[in-house]
Chain A
Amino acid sequence: MVEGLKVINLKKTFKLSAKQQKLEKTKDKVRKAVDGLSFEAYKGEIYGLLGPNGAGKTTTLRVIATLIKPDEGDVIIDGLSVVKDAGKVRGKIGFLTSDMKLEAFFTPNYLFDFFASLYGMGEEKTKSRKDKLFKMFGIDKFAEVKVSDLSSGMKQKTSLAISILHDPDVIVFDEPTNGLDVTTAKTVTDFLIGMKEEGKTIILSSHVLSLIEKVCDRVGIIMKGKMVVEGRVDELIKEKDLETIFIEKSKEVENDEKCADNN
């Protein structure tokens, strides 16, 4: 059984509307968002997923989170397939993306209880998790304030706490420090490292390369839906930093594409 997460030859295409074809100056009726992507993230490690906008990161994360189905391939999480066992997988993962927002009308306290109930958690377990997570993120100070009245940092902390309230084995975060101040970003970074030490499998997608360098054990750079660089962060940055690798690879892919178009 695969412990952690294994992405196997993932493919996903989206139909392009006439408007999108015009915008993207293409005659193709479909766009390959993810094109045969494979990687593994092990227990007790943080795997960083890098890529420019439109590279297929969000699509990959959505497939992992069972929000969308792949055209081909699969993702195996602790032996469960996101295609065949979507319901069970949802109980095993914690997912947080910038697309996901909290209902503004409610308080963090209410929302925590609401989602805990959806995860089938009992009253006692909910209380102990809430005490722990609210204390860890300092949410207890604003637990009874409506989400609409919270700052971006407070909202993000609440979202983080709710996404892991069921103590998932696999955690998938898309841009978790986006728009956060230095102090809050540090809280998130410390939290990620803490989760890793607890033996969780963490997939982290971010544009903040310094964060990836700091917390990730391994990293995969995807471009045009394909894996172009993969390896241990400490080994990759021996000669060049991640930013240089990223930019060089971007240019390389762009040149390859131009050559293909000319041929």
Chain B
Amino acid sequence: MKNVLTIIKKELKRFFTDPRMILALVLPGIIMMVMYTAIGAIIESVQKKTTYAIITVNKPETVASSEFSLGLDAFHKSLPGNVVDIGDTNKEYVLEQIEKGDVDLLVVYEDDFWNAVEAYNSAVPGAIAPKVELYFNSSKEKSSQVYSMYSRFLDDLETKMIDVNKFDIDLKDTAKPTDLGIMLISMILPGMLVIFLSTGSMSVVTESIAGEKERGTIAALLVTPIKRSELALGKATALSIASLASGLSSFIGMIVSLPSMMAGVELEMSMYSVGDYFAVFAILIATVMLVTIIMCMLSAMAKSVKEATGFTGPIMLVVVAAAFPTMLGMVSSTNLALTLIPIFNSVQCLAQILSKNFNVGYFIMTLVMNLVYTVLGVFVLGKMFNNEKIMFRQ
């Protein structure tokens, strides 16, 4: 037991007296906190601006003496956006609009709804419960959101009516089978892609830059007339390619296993156009270059491969944190301010492309921002190669 305590003491001393180790422990938390706070603030402002287009058919008339009727009216008024009643016409046209995403929800009430509810007694055999039909599109985020709000309200309303089975809620999802596949892909793939690319980058970069320092081969390069910025750019480019290859091999493995992972979901390559594939590839290249240059800078700081792995580890946590919201379907915003957040912007952009909500402005801004960060990174790496304290740290 004494030996174990001695080991524990030594390990804790190592962790809590080495400033670099402390930084490696604390930094991911700080970065995540800053990142999520920023993302949260932006999303909140976006959500405040979200409005829904809701169409009702046979909207129950207001009954001043009924608290339920007044409650429904108040709920309709509280919804951000418009609730328009169209009587019982044009239902088919509205369903088409839901599929396209122009209308978010169609609510069809039975004729004379309040009286039908009043008259209904579930204890009477053969009595048919009044119906409320909700038509929505689960592949559209706004539609899913407003459907969820509306159905929750109706459930609460029914619960308040003492007899919990006063009416039936009939759900109608207008999403096509492939829409569900598109939604799942747009949730899972963006995050996974960026994580795979970063993992690939981490392994090749640490070996190349810190490995060269450790083995003493970088000095041979530094005595040649080649400019440090050229060396930095050359390394970053080559390592980006290697990282891309490494990440793509993982990606291909995942794509191959996707049908079995999502058994029952209709998946077809033709769900996406050639343009979609090009856009995805462009974002992947921009992302891998950025991730690689970040890894390069951290690796250049390290004396050995082991130390570099320790430095780049927290970056992986940041990547996972950036991928997490999209994987949970929590965020899908076209707010251009989000493109300022590296890595997160790529995950978001990929999610938009893969969910067929391609936004040209967001796409271009994501590419531009990643490129700007990469160029800055190459510049800093060049300076680091020129810094004797970094390159010849004892």
Contacts and interface: CB of A to CB of B under 8 A. Distances in A.
Interface of A: 62, 65-69, 87-88, 90-91, 93, 95, 97, 99-104, 115, 118-120, 162
B153 interface: no
Nearest to B219: A100
B256 interface: no
B225 A102 contact: no
A88 B223 contact: no
Contacts of B215: 101, 103-104
Contacts, number: 49
Contacts of A93: 223
Nearest to A20: B394
B224 interface: yes
A6 B74 CA distance: 90
A20 to B, nearest CB: 8
A28 to B, nearest CB: 16
A66 B215 CA distance: 20
B115 to A, nearest CB: 84
B51 interface: no
B227 interface: yes
12 contacts: A68-B388, A68-B392, A69-B388, A90-B224, A95-B223, A100-B217, A101-B215, A101-B220, A103-B212, A115-B220, A118-B225, A119-B225
A231 to B, nearest CB: 30
A99 B392 CA distance: 10
Contacts of A91: 225
Given A67-B388, A68-B388, A119 B224 contact: yes
Contacts of B4: none
Nearest to B227: A87
B226 interface: yes
A67 B219 CA distance: 8
A67 B224 contact: no
A101 B388 contact: no
A87 B225 contact: yes
Q: Which 5 A-B pairs have the closest CB atoms?
A: A101-B216, A68-B388, A91-B225, A118-B224, A90-B225
B224 to A, nearest CB: 4
Interface in B190-242: 212, 215-217, 219-227
Contacts of A87: 225, 227
Given A67-B388, A68-B388, A69-B388, A115 B224 contact: yes
A99 B388 CA distance: 14
Contacts of B217: 100-103
A104 B220 CA distance: 13
A64 to B, nearest CB: 10
A69 B388 CA distance: 8
Given A69-B388, A95-B223, 5 more contacts: A67-B222, A68-B392, A87-B227, A91-B225, A101-B216
Select the residue from A104, A118, A119 with max chain B CB neighbours within 10 A: A118
Contacts of A100: 216-217, 219-220, 223
A263 to B, nearest CB: 32
Contacts of A67: 219, 222-223, 388, 391-392
Interface centre among B223, B224, B227, B388 (most CB of A within 10 A): B223
B225 A120 contact: yes
Interface string B5-19: 000000000000000
Contact of B223 (A90, A101, A102, A120): A90
B199 to A, nearest CB: 22
B150 to A, nearest CB: 63
A174 B335 CA distance: 59
Contacts of A95: 223
A127 B301 CA distance: 37
A104 B223 CA distance: 19
Contacts of B223: 65-67, 90, 93, 95, 100
Interface string B356-394: 000000000000000000000000000000001001100
A87 B227 CA distance: 7
Nearest to A106: B217
B333 to A, nearest CB: 46
Contacts of B219: 67, 97, 99-100
B230 to A, nearest CB: 9
A162 B220 contact: yes
A125 B352 CA distance: 54
A240 B282 CA distance: 73
A100 B220 CA distance: 6
B301 to A, nearest CB: 16
Interface centre among B221, B222, B224 (most CB of A within 10 A): B224
Most chain B CB within a 10 A radius of its CB, from A87, A97, A101: A101
Contacts of A68: 388, 392
Contact of B225 (A62, A88, A104, A162): A88
Contacts of A101: 215-217, 220
A99 B223 CA distance: 12
A100 B225 CA distance: 16
B234 to A, nearest CB: 10
A99 B215 CA distance: 9
A91 B227 CA distance: 12
Nearest to B222: A67
Contacts of A115: 220, 224
A102 B392 contact: no
A85 B216 CA distance: 24
Contacts of B224: 90, 115, 118-119
Nearest to A118: B224
A66 B221 CA distance: 12
Nearest to B223: A95
Contacts of A119: 224-225
Contacts of B225: 87-88, 90-91, 118-120
Contacts of B220: 100-102, 115, 162
A98 B224 CA distance: 17
A93 B222 CA distance: 12
Interface string B295-330: 000000000000000000000000000000000000
